[in-house]
Amino acid sequence: MSDAPAPAPKDFIRELIAADVAAQRNDGWVITRFPPEPNGYLHIGHAKSICLNFGIALENAPKSRCHLRFDDTNPVKEDVEYVNSIQEDVRWLGFDWSQHLYFASDYFEKLYGFALQLIEKGLAYVDDQTLEQVRANRGSLMHPGTPSPFRERPVAENVDLFSRMRAGEFKAGEKILRAKIDMSSPNMNLRDPVIYRILHAHHHRTGDAWCIYPMYDYAHPLSDALEGITHSLCTLEFEHHRPLYEWLINSVDGLPSHPYQREFARLNLTYTVMSKRKLLGLVKAGLVSGWDDPRMPTISGIRRRGYTPHAVRHFCETIGLTKFASLTELALLEHCVREDLNKHSQRVYGVLRPIKVVLTNYPEGQVEQIELVNNPENPTGGTRPVPLSRELYIDADDFMETPVADFHRLVPGGEVRLKYAFCITCDAVIKDAEGRITELRCTYDDATRRGVKPVGRPKVKGTIHWVSAAHAVDVEVRLYDKLFVEAQPEEAAGEEGDFTQFLNPASLEILNAKLEPSVLAASPGAHYQFERVGYFFTDPKDSQPGRPVFNRTVALKDSFAKAK
RNA sequence: UGCCUUAUGGUGUAACGGUAGCACAGCAGAUUCUGAAUCUGCUUGUCUAGGUUCAAAUCCUAGUGAGGCAACCA
């Protein structure tokens, strides 16, 4: 009894929800929602929210669910391309909204009715002021606002004007509908917030049916209520919108549920930027190849980079949930992928920067098959035959003509083990006229096969990977690195500065690598570990049958490189 | 010169008035046919000042730092 395992610590939101369930609030139901605006691609920060909302629903089954609702109230910024990508990304992360796919635009008629109701109650009015006047009369952070001259407009006139707004009698900006709350509130959101504006814009779902569109602050709480949402979870910047959220929920009659909003800190990650606007900027400026460029922190980008849904979900669990505006190290995300990929990825030999090695005492024309372990982490993973012959390639990193201290790979006169084959000794370094190494002449030791370490001989410390020159296949390999050179590019650029100046010029290096022939069978979207090098993913877009293209997901940890 | 939120090792978090713990990162060592993985150990922390209490990371007050707020964006 006493050594029962401690329950996993809950974050403040899960605690709150657990208390609601215990108190039988909403009959014990927990209904959450993920409410993206379809104005861009989802990024890793959204993954945090997706894992939270869908995760909470899963944890509270069976009296629970999570909706996917598109907050599509601003037609000028939104597009079906985004609604499609968002659904794909949420599914890829492993979550299912089943039949609960909604659009705020589906509620336009009901939202209009609620607005009429507010007008009837004297809680909303049509304002004729210009945008500039509204802004000026809102006051400032230090000073209260002043009421609009139209604030006391009679109900009947408001009803008439609002229906004529809907009918298209006015141009954009001529009139707005405002909630009548408190022009002197210290909370700017309560100073008679705009709840409807005129937009003669084509909507990606409702077409030209509407020329007035509700604002987020108005549509969101009421959409939540219409769907029976119990817990509306959003990021910290909406914290001071909460009184408005509650004002609406309490002011509108006939709502099927009374949800409440709670806020948590959004994810910030080092060496990247996380705003849709800035990511869109990178795409538009051609600084990346698109939203799914493997260097982007978008879900589609990291998917193409080779991250797994499991790794992303585990990352989202690991970072926790608080109200503190924190900055998470990229290293933690990388740790999460390595952890997953180490367990599950097929090992393969790949030489990124080849140096030719000739085994002078190996018979010409002879080819033998060496059995390589597919995945040492998986005892039932089996082996595969890989050809070995007289001429090989090894990685340039694995040879040093004048070695630094503690280098225990191949050096002139030194010995190294070719993994799963035998040890070789470097007898000569051949160079071209410019002094570049073209070839290493080595001899192999037949007595060291299969890992045998002959007694009485100095221990061979280094073990390196290799491929047979005649059998290796040339494959395009893309080495991706962090997008920015600064941990906090926006911070480094300052208010006025341009964060793109900190883009990492070495964030992509394209190599023609020599890989073991088995990779030709790789299908697009497959994860590999190039032994001793890193984790690689066959690019789902650019790979062709028999001609894979590899994206480096993340390098293996390299404690030797660090020591240098 | 306002209002709201927030502050625990380098980073992210836990501790719900009673032994400051975990993960990442870092550093050592063991192990290793991947300088990976694995295992062991170590370094490093309660923003400051008061107060309440037998006892404060935790409650209160003030200060300081950080984030947010004046789109007809979300």
Each residue's pLDDT tens digit, A353-408 = 999 999 999 999 999 999 999 999 999 999 999 999 999 999 999 999 999 999 99
Residue A293 domain flag: no
What is the tens place of the pLDDT at every residue in A332-361? 999 999 999 999 999 999 999 999 999 999
Domain contains A195:
yes
The answer on A246 and A364 residing in a single domain is no
Residues A253 and A357 in one domain: no
CA A63 to chain centre: 29
| ipTM of model | 0.97
Q: Is the pLDDT of residue A456 over 80?
A: no
Strand B–CB A275 distance below 7 A = no
**Which sequence positions of A are flagged as catalytic?**
37, 266, 276
Nearest nucleotide by C1' position to the A408 CA atom: B35
Domain boundary among A264, A279, A297: A264
Residue A405 domain boundaries: 353-471
What is the Cα–Cα distance from A253 to A171, expressed in whole angstroms?
Answer: 31
User: Quick one: A212 and A99 in the same domain?
Assistant: yes
Helix, strand, coil percent values for chain A (each to nearest 5): 30, 25, 45
Per-residue confidence at A451, pLDDT binned at 50, 70, 90?
confident
Residues A378 and A249 in one domain: no
Q: Which of A445, A471, A497 is the last residue of a domain?
A: A471
**Predicted local confidence at residue A453, as pLDDT:** 83
- A122 within some domain: yes
Q: Is residue A478 part of a domain?
A: no
Give alpha helix (H) positions in A306-419.
309-318, 330-344
| Domain count for chain A | 2
**Is A358 in the same domain as A260?**
no
Q: Which residue is nearest to nucleotide B3 (CA to C1')?
A: A186
Tell whether A168 is covered by a domain: yes
Same domain for A219 and A119, yes or no, is yes
Residue A305 lies in a domain: no
Same domain, A106 and A240: yes
pLDDT at A515 over 50: yes
Which has the closest alpha carbon to A222: A197, A255, A244?
A255
Residues A159 and A54 grouped into a single domain:
yes
Identity of the amino acid at A237: E
DSSP 8-state symbol, A436: -
Helix (H, G, I), strand (E, B) or coil at A109: helix
- % of residues, chain A, pLDDT over 70: 99
The total number of residues shown for chain A amounts to 564
**Nucleotide of closest approach to A174 (CA, C1'):** B72
Structure confidence at residue A6 (pLDDT): 56
pLDDT value of position A7: 63
Asked whether the predicted pLDDT for residue A3 surpasses 60, the reply is no
CATH value at residue A402:
2.40.240.10
A260 and A377 inside one domain: no
The distance (Å) linking the CA of A491 with the C1' of B42 is 34
Identify residue A16 by its one-letter amino acid code. Answer: L
A221-252 burial code (b ≥16 CB/10 A, e <16): bbbbbbbbbbbbbbeeebeebbbbbebbbebb
Q: Which of residues 19-78 of A touch strand B (CB under 7 A)?
A: 35, 37, 71, 73-74, 77
Backbone dihedral region of A306: left (phi > 0), alpha (psi from -120 to 50 degrees) or beta?
left
Model confidence, pTM: 0.96
Distance A131 CA to B73 C1' (A): 14
A70 in a structural domain: yes
Residue A500 falls inside a structural domain: no
pLDDT in tens, A92-115: 999 999 999 999 999 999 999 999
Q: What is the mean pLDDT of residues A47-54?
A: 98
Among the candidates A471, A492, A511, a domain finishes at A471
Same domain, A161 and A19: yes
Phi, psi (degrees; rounded to nearest 5) at A534: 170, -175
Nucleic strand B under 7 Å from the C-beta of A105: no
CATH number of the CATH domain containing A200: 3.40.50.620
